[in-house]
Structure 1
Amino acid sequence: MTSSSKTLGGLFDSFQREAFRLETLNDYSKSGSVDAYHAYLAGEPQPEDYNAGWVEELRSHTENGKRVYRVHILSRPLTDYLCFELGWGYRKNMTGGEEFFILDVTDKPNPLTGVPDFWCFDSESVAVMNYDGAGKYLSSEILEPERVAEFTRYRDTALTHAEPFTEWWAKYGA
């Protein structure tokens, strides 16, 4: 990828092969889908159009042969937010072709302690995601090219220790 994109949105618009996300938080409830999260907590059914915009974007990438995938580092018992994210979000996003993996550190050490949330595009660009202590998205920071190898190692470590979401969900899902 030869892109001068300096924003997360620009990187999403220009990646050619793959977009990888590492998620490390137990609660992103202040960052988006707030109304859907409250509906979930109230026991309401998932709206049919839930996450429709993201699913459409995913399809536009995956139908063109691009891979969008993520690993979430978590431990059990799941927070209410994780039950929502995995049960509503991941399962819905899979219909657009996104792949999910779980690195469950309930009974083992976290191999990526201290690593922040990030997106890695085509192993060439990295955007670190910044959140406050309550899981509210603050900003993203596009890293200098010399830091990309460090984050591709984090990606590879996460994938080595993770299992496919569908297998993990069958064992531990809500």
Structure 2
Amino acid sequence: MTHLVKPGAGFAELFRTFESSAWRLETLPAYEVDEERASFERFVRTGDLDVGYLAGWLSDVRAATEAGKRFERVRVVVDPPTDYLRFEMAVAAHNIRAGEEIRVLPDRGARSLGLPERHDFWIFDDRRVAILHMSPTGRLLDVEVKDDEATLARHRAWQALAWERASPVGS
């Protein structure tokens, strides 16, 4: 079955209803997220990091991981990193403290593994894939949720390759 959800409440529901694991592949060098714009611009201008905009997410991740759920992600990074990737890597320390496990994979490595380019997705409970449709600037437009076996198999294979080859943040 396939269905579309819009950013906001429909997408957030996926994070409230998963049972054991949420895994993400991030492939873009930058994202356009209104809630973090001021923090990102301040970081680029001064190097100061304000993650107040992320408080709700961090609280939800902490509660989920304390309940035994897993949040994991692999972030594909370009060299040299974009300002946005530098910002994301600074923010990652807060995500990790909340309970996420984050790994990074150089874009050269991602290409050599045959991982998709510009194809971000989440896998929930190893049963549903949420494909994130993004604008050219990295704004989330909508999310295509699929649970057919062919889509799951393809995304699980990419997940296994990325996770195995990526390095934990900070290593």
Deviations 1:25-78 (CA, angstroms, capped at 9, x unpaired): 000034541111111112152236351111101001100011101001122100
What are the residue-to-residue correspondences of 1:36-115 with 2, within 5 Å? Answer: 36-43=39-46, 45-47=48-50, 49-87=52-90, 89-106=91-108, 109-111=111-113, 112-114=115-117
Cα pair 2:28 2:118 within 8 Å, conserved = no
- Worse-superposed segment, 18-27 or 111-120: 111-120
- Distance change (3 Å), C-alpha of 1:140 and 1:108: closer
Supply the distance in 1 between the matched residues of 2:84 and 2:127 (Cα, whole angstroms). 31
- Distance change (3 Å), C-alpha of 1:37 and 1:48: closer
Q: Please report the TM-score for the alignment, with normalisation by the length of structure 1.
A: 0.84
Kindly provide the amino acid, as one letter, of the partner of residue 162 in structure 1. A
Deviations 1:56-103 (CA, angstroms, capped at 9, x unpaired): 01001100011101001122100001001111x211111211110011
Kindly provide the amino acid, as one letter, of the partner of residue 57 in structure 2. W
- For the residue of structure 1 that corresponds to 2:46, the secondary structure is coil
What are the residue-to-residue correspondences of 1:111-122 with 2, within 5 Å? Answer: 111=113, 112-114=115-117, 116-122=119-125
1:12 to 12, 15, 25: 15
Supply the distance in 2 between the matched residues of 1:94 and 1:75 (Cα, whole angstroms). 21
In the alignment, structure 2 segments of 5+ residues that lack a partner are none
- Count matched residues: 163
Partner of 2:32: 29
More helix by share: 2
State the Cα RMSD in Å: 2.3
Partner of 1:170: none
In the alignment, structure 1 segments of 5+ residues that lack a partner are 1-5, 168-174
Supply the distance in 1 between the matched residues of 2:57 and 2:126 (Cα, whole angstroms). 22
Partner of 1:162: 166
Cα pair 1:119 1:127 within 8 Å, conserved = yes
Deviations 1:130-174 (CA, angstroms, capped at 9, x unpaired): 11111111111112422212111111111111111111xxxxxxx
Supply the distance in 2 between the matched residues of 1:116 and 1:160 (Cα, whole angstroms). 19
Partner of 2:132: 129
Cα pair 2:127 2:147 within 8 Å, conserved = no
Kindly provide the amino acid, as one letter, of the partner of residue 165 in structure 2. H
1:141 corresponds to 2:138: no
Cα pair 2:64 2:70 within 8 Å, conserved = yes
Partner of 2:157: 153
Partner of 1:171: none
